């Protein structure tokens, strides 16, 4: 059985619940297609998140890494196309406020995802779930961990697929937040299961 490292994030900024935590923990230990899932939750901290992610990669030696993040305000499930070499944005949970900083000095300016994102979108649509490819993961923690995983794969010349999927708020979060669009937890979970199935099928073909 192949190994998938699935990560979620803890709550951050004004988002008191991070729906990616529940999805990651519910899928932990499950098998989808050819993949056995190992889930971990990452801190919203520019100085720690990348290191933690790389330590989980070293620990599990996964065949693929999918990281999940909340994009509060988005309406659809959005697999990301590209990660860029920048840390910038609002303060993280430890108070680091970074501006225009490169993630890795000698790293490429950007890396494309190695997940089959077009097939993921097609499958999500066939299952009746709103989804589209996103061309920007932003410059905050989500972009950071996507970049770190892709840089690691490139540097190690590892045959490890990696990428990132942003999800909208769950209804549970939308209720406490008050002003963001949402999807049900069940649909978000179904959407991520579909993305993992597509990853597995893509590698068989």
Active site residue 10: no
Closest CB 19 distance from ligand PCA, rounded Å: 9
Per the residue annotation, which of 38, 144, 151, 166 is the catalytic one? 166
Write phi, then psi, for 114 (nearest 5 degrees).
-110, 15
Per the residue annotation, which of 142, 144, 151, 195 is the catalytic one? 142
> 3-state DSSP call for residue 117?
helix
If you write DSSP's letter for every residue of 75-109 in order, what string do you get? Answer: -SBEEB-EEES-B-SS--TT-----SB-SSTTS-S
Closest CB 18 distance from ligand PCA, rounded Å: 5
Give the number of C-alpha atoms closer than 13 A to the C-alpha of residue 43, restricted to the C-beta side: 14
Site membership for ligand PCA, residue 141 (CB under 6 A): yes
Residues 66-95 that bind ligand PCA (CB under 6 A): 69-71
Q: Which of 6, 10, 29, 3 is closest to 192 using CA atoms?
A: 6
Site membership for ligand PCA, residue 138 (CB under 6 A): yes
Site membership for ligand PCA, residue 142 (CB under 6 A): yes
Q: Find all residues with CB under 8 Å of 43, minimum gap 6, and list them.
A: 9, 10, 49, 52, 93, 94
DSSP state letter for 15 = B
Interface map 19-48 toward ligand PCA (x if CB under 6 A): -x-----------------------x----
Site membership for ligand PCA, residue 152 (CB under 6 A): no
Q: Output the CA torsion sign for 160, 202, 110, 79.
A: negative
Task: List C-alpha distances in Å: 149 to 16, 65, 161, 162, 170.
Answer: 26, 8, 9, 6, 26
Indicate the residue among 170 and 200 with the shorter CB distance to ligand PCA.
170
Member of 18, 78, 87, 123 binding ligand PCA (CB under 6 A): 18
Active site residue 144: no
Site membership for ligand PCA, residue 168 (CB under 6 A): no
Indicate the residue among 62 and 138 with the shorter CB distance to ligand PCA.
138
Closest CB 141 distance from ligand PCA, rounded Å: 4
Active site residue 151: no
Contact predicate 86/174, CB 8 Å:
no
Catalytic residue IDs: 80, 142, 166
Contacts to ligand PCA by CB under 6 A: 9, 12, 18, 20, 44, 69-71, 138, 140-142
């Amino acid at each position: 059985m192949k190994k998938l490292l699935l990560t979620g994030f803890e709550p951050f900024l004004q988002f008191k619940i991070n729906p990616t935590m529940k999805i990651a923990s519910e899928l932990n230990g499950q098998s989808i297609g050819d993949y056995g899932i190992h889930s971990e939750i990452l801190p919203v901290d520019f100085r720690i998140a990348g290191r933690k992610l790389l330590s989980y990669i070293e620990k599990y030696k996964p065949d693929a890494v999918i990281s999940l993040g909340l994009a509060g305000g988005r309406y659809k499930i959005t697999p990301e196309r590209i990660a860029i070499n920048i840390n910038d944005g609002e303060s993280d949970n430890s108070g680091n406020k970074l501006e225009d900083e490169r993630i890795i000095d000698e790293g490429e300016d950007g890396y494309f995802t190695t997940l089959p994102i077009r097939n993921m979108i097609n499958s999500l649509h066939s299952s009746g779930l709103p989804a589209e490819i996103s061309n920007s993961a932003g410059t905050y923690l989500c972009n950071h961990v996507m970049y770190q995983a892709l840089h690691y794969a490139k540097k190690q010349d590892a045959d490890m697929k990696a990428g990132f999927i942003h999800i909208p708020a769950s209804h549970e979060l939308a209720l406490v937040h008050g002003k963001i669009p949402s999807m049900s937890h069940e649909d978000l979970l179904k959407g991520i299961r579909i993305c993992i199935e597509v990853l597995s099928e893509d590698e068989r073909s």
